[in-house]
Amino acid sequence: MISIAHKNIKERKLRTTFTLLSVIIASSTLLLFMGLKDGVKNATFEELEKKSPLTQITVSPKIEDNGIISLLGKSQKNKITQEKIDKIKDIDGVKAVYPEIQFNNFASLEASVFGFSFLTDAMIFGVDEDFVKDDFVTTTDWNSLNQPYPAIIPSKLLDLYNVTIAVPQGLPSLSEDDLKGKKITLYPNYSTFFPGFNKISDSIELKVVGFSDKTNLLGATLSYQAVNQLNQKYSEIKEPQVLELFIETEDASLVKEVADQINTLNLNTQYFQKNAEDIEAKLNYLDMALSILSLIILITTAMAILTTFLATISEQKKEIGLLRALGATKLDIKKMILLQATIIGLVGSAIGLALGILIISLIEPLLLKERAQTTFTPNSLFLISTVSALKILLFGTVLTIFAAYLPAHQAAKVNPIQALKN
């Protein structure tokens, strides 16, 4: 049976090639879609996990209750109090609580790189050493109150600078190495946006000691003690205003449970699993769009295969009649046609798979090169697993068999007498 199916495939080279092409195009396109969908999802979650470890919860006052003024530390309503912090510490599963305080006034930072000087408004945050110690890239005494104060820069700030300033203005891009150990000048109570509020022109020296994905994107992070000292000297509000809390849980599985208890204190919580759900919901739209495109491709391919097989059956009628005369049952004929479809489907999807991988290896470096100019810089955009490859092989083969079923059914109904007469 296999030899007859093979012979039929070989004898009708043009039709076989046409059917193979349909399967190859469908398989390689499906592989690209599947790889892109999985790749983007994987890259997004990797990026998210970098920023927010699985055991971490970020706690903030509810913005709908407080508004932007509270965020700047001016409102006393519903803020994160020591009482609430103590309650959180008592929750089962909480390993550590790291408050993030802020400098309670305007501030600007000035840095000089590649001969250019930048002066911009920024917020100054303060955290415990334990929260950022993994991010130090230079040996430092984090709690030192001598100038220059050690400072951590958010990694994303570099990306933002490179994307929004360096590239459009043709300036050199900045790397962590360019800023490591760099001196930055902090001007407390000084704003480039609101010059009317500027009071004094004091300056404080900072030194970049690390880069972090966990710290606040809006400015530089210093030690808790340093920010306290700045508040004592330059702010009207002397007490530490806790802007956010970073909670470390004992285990990733406890995150949701702990977050639910924190929510009862009228505080807002953010954690990886919750963000992941939101992002996954958004990624589902991409999934849906690719699925619709895939469906259109599959229907078109199935129609092409069906048409080609119908034409092939028409050409093979005499042979089918002969086989029927020699003892082939209707089922044998159906099997023979479906075997042809299986061979074409398997070979076509295998070639499509190889072609898809080749296309990905050619276009992925180009796409990643483009992405290098943005803040989203994954290692890969396509993810092809063994399971995906097997799915493509199976799908290509099943699709061909499915499309060939109607022609096979028609072939089985061929009247041997009529067929042999023709």
Partner 1 sequence: MRMIKIENITKTFRNQGNPVQGLKKTSLKIKEGSFLVIVGPSGSGKTSLLNIIGGLDTPTTGQITVKDRNLKNLSDKELSNYRNNEIGFVFQEFHLEPEMTVLDNVLLPTLFSKDKKDKKEKATELIKEVGLTKKINQKTKALSGGEKQRTAIARALINNPTIIIADEPTGNLDAETGKIILNLLKKIHKNHKTTLIIATHDEKVASATKQQIKL
- Contact positions vs partner 1 (CB under 8 A): 1, 3-4, 7, 11, 318-319, 322-332, 416-417, 420
Q: Which is nearer to partner 1, 329 or 361 (CB)?
A: 329
Q: Which of 1, 3, 17 is nearest to 312 (CA)?
A: 17
Write down the least CB distance from residue 415 to partner 1, Å: 9
Q: Which is nearer to partner 1, 62 or 413 (CB)?
A: 413
Residue for token pair 């994303």: 156
Q: Which is nearer to partner 1, 323 or 381 (CB)?
A: 323
Question: What secondary structure does DSSP assign to 214-272, as a single string?
Answer: SS-TTEEEEEHHHHHHHHHHH-S--S--EEEEEEEESSGGGHHHHHHHHHTTTEEEEEH
Write down the least CB distance from residue 10 to partner 1, Å: 8
Write down the least CB distance from residue 315 to partner 1, Å: 13
Write down the least CB distance from residue 313 to partner 1, Å: 17
* Cα dihedral sign, 273-274-279-281: positive
The bridge status of strand 149-154 relative to strand 94-102 is: unpaired
Write down the least CB distance from residue 8 to partner 1, Å: 10
Distances (CA, A) of 298 to 151, 293, 349: 56, 9, 13
CA distance 28 to 36: 12
CA distance 105 to 253: 39
Q: Which residues pair with 211 in a beta bridge?
A: 153
Q: Which is nearer to partner 1, 316 or 388 (CB)?
A: 316
Distances (CA, A) of 271 to 48, 260, 265, 268: 10, 11, 17, 10
Contact between 30 and 395 (Cβ < 8 Å): yes
Write down the least CB distance from residue 366 to partner 1, Å: 47
* Cα dihedral sign, 349-353-356-362: negative
Write down the least CB distance from residue 343 to partner 1, Å: 17
Write down the least CB distance from residue 410 to partner 1, Å: 16
Write down the least CB distance from residue 417 to partner 1, Å: 6
Q: Which is nearer to partner 1, 3 or 386 (CB)?
A: 3
Q: Which is nearer to partner 1, 49 or 332 (CB)?
A: 332
Neighbours of 382 (CB within 10 A): 26
Please name the helix (run of DSSP H) or strand (run of DSSP E) that holds residue 70, with its range, or none. helix 63-71
CA distance 50 to 40: 15
Write down the least CB distance from residue 416 to partner 1, Å: 5
Q: Which is nearer to partner 1, 3 or 264 (CB)?
A: 3
Write down the least CB distance from residue 17 to partner 1, Å: 18
Contact between 210 and 138 (Cβ < 8 Å): yes
Residue for token pair 């991988």: 357
Q: Which is nearer to partner 1, 11 or 130 (CB)?
A: 11
Q: Which is nearer to partner 1, 180 or 318 (CB)?
A: 318
CA angle 267–271–275, rounded 5-degree value: 110
**Structure-derived torsion over alpha carbons of residues 363, 364, 370, 372, reported in degrees to the nearest 10:** -160
57: helix, strand or coil: strand
Q: Which is nearer to partner 1, 30 or 328 (CB)?
A: 328
Q: Which is nearer to partner 1, 369 or 421 (CB)?
A: 421
Contact between 396 and 345 (Cβ < 8 Å): yes
